[in-house]
A and B are shown apart, each in its own frame.
Chain A
Amino acid sequence: MVTTAISHTPSFSETFFTSLYKVENGERFRTCLQCGSCSGVCPFGYLMDYPPGMMIAGLRADEFDLVMKTDTVWMCVSCYACAQICPSKIPITAGLMTRTKEELLLAGNVPSELQSALENSQRYGNPMGESPRKRADWTTGIQPPVTILGRDRRPVDVLWFVGDYPSYHPRVQYVAKALAKVLNALGINFGILGPEENSDGDTQRLAGERGLFEMLAEKNGRIFSKYQFERIITSDPHAYNALKNEYPVLSISYPVQHSTQFLAEHIDQLRPLLKQEIPATVTYHDPCYLGRVNGIFDEPRMLLEAIPGVKIVEMSHNHSSSLCCGGGGGGMWLDGFQWEKAHARLSEWRVHEAVDVGANILAVACPYEPPRFEDAIKMSQQAGQLVVKDIVELLAEALG
């Protein structure tokens, strides 16, 4: 049998396309129907030179280097709307968008704000560039004192993985303090890592820095193994996603729950303690990484319903069609870049939806959201008296 063996150096597009198959379910990239749903549902799709569907077309046409020349993939906020709607169930977010960002990063091609956040994460274990020694400063004054495992060496039932923003961001520290109050009210035996905790790394992973993610995960894994606890809880859906789905791939595996799941388990114990009425119309924003990506929709609503006086209304996009606040995939650190292109913030659209549905309170369950939505409210004249509160802050208020 004669074979024609013509030597062929794979083009960049070919090599890149093949690398996508290595991602979980990556072979589905071959089954793209070019239906355009992903590009249509993408919140910033209209601004991208190559929205997701067209990126796949570019790969097939061996023209991916054209895609690489543009910088619009940085508009992607890793909200998973595309992956969720795709009829072929192609892993667009984790596969294509993240891998493209990885390639751009390797070429040194990254917007400067994001560069600082990544360098800070590597150096200080948090994207803000704050001193690691101050990571537990938010606990000052809380009674009873919060157990910091490195200092108070004792076994606990629950390891609370606090996260970057609740630890350092002045607005989100209130959420951390509120959760401490609720956990204490329930008599939970919990502890935090404090200065030993590093960023979970999930957003950095989705922004294209796989190496940085692994480094942070390994550091956290080593710290976890020093202490005794039954399970990990976190109020951060991004950390939850990392701990539940990505860390086990690196052999770091612990039972993990989002704080709303954990508290919902304790609802019978919690409900009688919620004595203070909060008479308000509340609408709940499903965070991308809690709802759409990890399927947790009911527990947060259950907690809100337990608060006396609360009337719950749903925005037009809710549950798995929830609109991203814009913080994911590096979006928290690309605000200037994305503003230049869009002159619109996703968080502002969401705030309008909350106003449209008559809400007094926009309830959230992710640390990126209070600052993002509060900024959006400032920019939006119609928002009036709309207030942003994490579910945990409302619970703490209801405790009286």
Chain B
Amino acid sequence: MNQDIFVAVEHLRGKVSDISYIMLAAAHDLAQNTGGKVVALLLGLNAQQLAGNLNADQVLYADHSLLTDFNPEAYQRTLIGIIDEYKPRAVLFGHTSIGTDTVGCISAQLGLPLVSSVRTIEANNKLISQICGGKIMAECNLPEPIALITLVPGGYKPEQGQSTQSPPVTAIPVQVLDGLRILLNKYIEPETSDVDISKEPLLIAVGRGIQNQDNISLAEELAQAIGGVVCASRPVVDQGWLPTSRLVGKSGSTVKPKVYLAIGISGAPEHVEAITGSDVIIAINTDSAAPIFNIAKYGTTADLFDLVPALTEKIKNIKG
């Protein structure tokens, strides 16, 4: 029986996403226990070069114009064909806009078991999933015969899934892809702002705890005083209090600042996954049980409405 671990690589606009490398790292853990190879699945048009730094034993590459950009139906059909033919031990997908559009339909179509939100693989291929806003972990065995798994970031670093040696790439034939009922019309870029928060070294982030649009000025004054940039978690952007370009999170930007000051942010996984690259996270939240304190280096339950103005004042005095 095939004991290989397959990884459905995700790429967007010519760039392989971090989750793909994270999946490869997890795949190696699985493969060590099953004794199989790690095989990356790459779908696209003239996209072989994306395989360059994948840490895999082999890459299967399917080339077709209808696979150029992600299309749920085209990707599903292609992957169903591949899985049906090769029958690997497991296939990993990202728990993302791309992965989750694909895996559920495949699971239903082929009658294969699916475990989602997996964060780490533990001894004897136990899958550890993270659910309920990160408050609960669940352990499951690797299901049989072919396990479909979606992965969330946090358990592995992307670097673990990258390699300096390019893996061998094998071209494979593609399924017939006519009669697609889903078509991509175009991409729409987010509103360009003068700031790319993913490149900023000092971020002042506001969350639901800021309570209303007016209070954001507290964060802006602090940012101005210290030379940082204001960004936000989803609830703030959903309300329209800050533009989408300032959104930090799963559906926004991933940031890697030197200092990330999280103000009134609880620390839900969708936000946390985008800030783990920060050097130092400092959290201000009156709820001592907020999950953000589990990943922050420093924290305080002081009230932000007292602390932030006081901090701004002190910084202004120091800077003169």
Contact = CB atoms under 8 A, between A and B. Distances in A.
A276 interface: no
B305 A339 contact: no
A20 B77 CA distance: 64
Interface in B193-225: 211-215
B239 A112 contact: yes
Interface in B227-254: 239
Contacts of B303: 170
Pick from B214, B239, B303 the residue with the most CB of A within 10 Å. B214
Contacts of B212: 113, 335-337, 339
A212 B303 CA distance: 30
A231 B217 CA distance: 46
B286 interface: yes
Given A112-B239, A170-B286, A375 B211 contact: no
A335 B214 contact: yes
Contacts of A112: 239
A335 B213 CA distance: 10
Given A112-B239, A170-B303, A378-B309, A339 B286 contact: no
Main secondary structure of the interface of A (DSSP, over half): helix
A339 B214 contact: yes
B100 to A, nearest CB: 28
Nearest to A112: B239
Contacts of A339: 212, 214
Interface string A360-384: 0000000000000001001000000
A378 B286 CA distance: 20
Interface in A208-233: none
B67 to A, nearest CB: 42
A340 B286 contact: no
Given A112-B239, A170-B286, A336 B215 contact: yes
A339 B214 CA distance: 7
Contacts, number: 20
A46 B106 CA distance: 63
A118 to B, nearest CB: 15
Given A112-B239, A170-B286, A336 B305 contact: no
Nearest to A340: B214
Interface size class of A (residues with CB under 8 A): 10 to 19
Interface string B283-320: 00010000000000000000101000100000000000
A336 B305 CA distance: 14
B309 A336 contact: no
Interface residues of B, number: 10
A170 B286 CA distance: 9
B121 to A, nearest CB: 35
A113 B212 CA distance: 7
Contacts of A336: 211-215
A113 B239 CA distance: 10
Given A170-B303, A375-B305, A113 B211 contact: yes
Interface string A184-206: 00000000000000000000000
Contacts of B305: 375
A375 B214 CA distance: 14
A381 to B, nearest CB: 12
A248 to B, nearest CB: 35
Nearest to B303: A170
A173 to B, nearest CB: 12
B294 to A, nearest CB: 20
Interface in A339-363: 339-340
A251 B305 CA distance: 42
A339 B309 CA distance: 18
Nearest to B310: A378
A164 to B, nearest CB: 16
B10 to A, nearest CB: 35
A336 B210 CA distance: 11
Nearest to A378: B309
Contacts of A375: 305
Nearest to B213: A336
Contacts of B309: 378
B219 to A, nearest CB: 14
Contacts of A378: 309
A165 B307 CA distance: 21
Contacts of B286: 170
Given A335-B212, A340-B213, 17 more contacts: A112-B239, A113-B211, A113-B212, A170-B286, A170-B303, A335-B211, A335-B214, A336-B211, A336-B212, A336-B213, A336-B214, A336-B215, A337-B212, A339-B214, A340-B214, A375-B305, A378-B309
20 contacts: A112-B239, A113-B211, A113-B212, A170-B286, A170-B303, A335-B211, A335-B212, A335-B214, A336-B211, A336-B212, A336-B213, A336-B214, A336-B215, A337-B212, A339-B212, A339-B214, A340-B213, A340-B214, A375-B305, A378-B309
Interface of B: 211-215, 239, 286, 303, 305, 309
The 9 closest A-B pairs by CB, nearest first: A336-B212, A336-B214, A339-B214, A336-B213, A113-B212, A335-B212, A112-B239, A170-B303, A340-B214
